[in-house]
Homo-oligomer: A and B are copies of this chain.
Amino acid sequence: MNSTQLFEQICRKRSFLCVGLDTDLAKLPACLQDSEDSVFAFNRAVIDATAPYAVSYKPNMAFYEAGGAEGWRSYEKTVSYIREHYPDIFIIADAKRGDIGNTSRLYARSFFEGSSAVDAVTLSPYMGHDTAAPFLEYEGRWAVLLALTSNGSAADFELQRMSSGDYLYETVLRTSRSWGNEDNIMYVVGATQAAMLERVRALVPNHFFLVPGVGAQGGSLEEVARYGMNSRCGLLVNSSRGIIYADSSERFAEAAGEKAKELACEMSRLLDTFLK
């Protein structure tokens, strides 16, 4: 999928919502405990309920790896299910991989080939271009690079000044934007400081951002749209727990759908307001 197709989907659904599938075996509703593969059963129900409002799903690999080989199987089944039933939806494996050489090539192959291939993988930029290169060789697939994250210890390195005067995350943006283009590179940009979102947008005006950490609060979502949106939206805003754990009863999927719908309604309004 390229950025034009992603934007078309955003326009069609009036939403730039990414639903994070951080599916935790310990948090599943009691009614699913007897399922043969309760993680997959949960995901399938959440996906069916939220698909009208979501343009992207983001399985968080840690939650599947925690289940070992079985967890990995649940992940593969989830991706295959989305592909089969909702082929237009953009799937991001949130793996934050960051290796080089033949190791990086193997990661790219794992995520981008076969029946459970995804559209995009999150990557750490620490080791430089060698990490992203194998992923960028796949036509229509994306590397989602960590740039500015919203955690406290982003201050340790990302927000340290380089000799050029830039923050490290700005150096990452300036350097990596030439590794590919707006059809195969996306950036993780945290939403905690709207002023910084504006700086990031100035550096990479045309790229999509994957923005984590926005809940159902209209306020912060509005700031993200105000400072981050470009002429083709350029945003995928993720919500995980606020949607998938909205309710722990048998109504869990219905509740997830309602939360996703709420966010999509707000996003529709923001597209009207801020799409340039």
Contact = CB atoms under 8 A, between A and B. Distances in A.
How many subunits of this chain does the assembly comprise? 2
A161 B167 CA distance: 11
Range for the number of chain A residues in contact with chain B = 35 or more
A202 to B, nearest CB: 20
The listed residue with most B CB atoms (<10 A of its CB), out of A62, A94, A162, is A62
Nearest to A114: B68
Interface string A137-169: 000000000100101111111101111010010
A66 interface: yes
Given A62-B110, A103-B22, A175 B161 contact: no
Contacts of A104: 62
Interface stretch (A8-16, A125-133, A222-230, A261-269): A125-133
B76 A158 contact: no
A109 interface: yes
A38 interface: no
A72 interface: yes
Contacts of A172: 157
Interface string A79-99: 000000000000000101111
A63 interface: yes
A129 B22 CA distance: 22
22 contacts: A24-B106, A62-B106, A65-B106, A66-B106, A68-B73, A69-B70, A69-B72, A96-B99, A100-B149, A125-B126, A125-B157, A128-B151, A128-B152, A128-B155, A130-B152, A156-B176, A161-B162, A161-B163, A162-B163, A163-B163, A163-B165, A168-B168
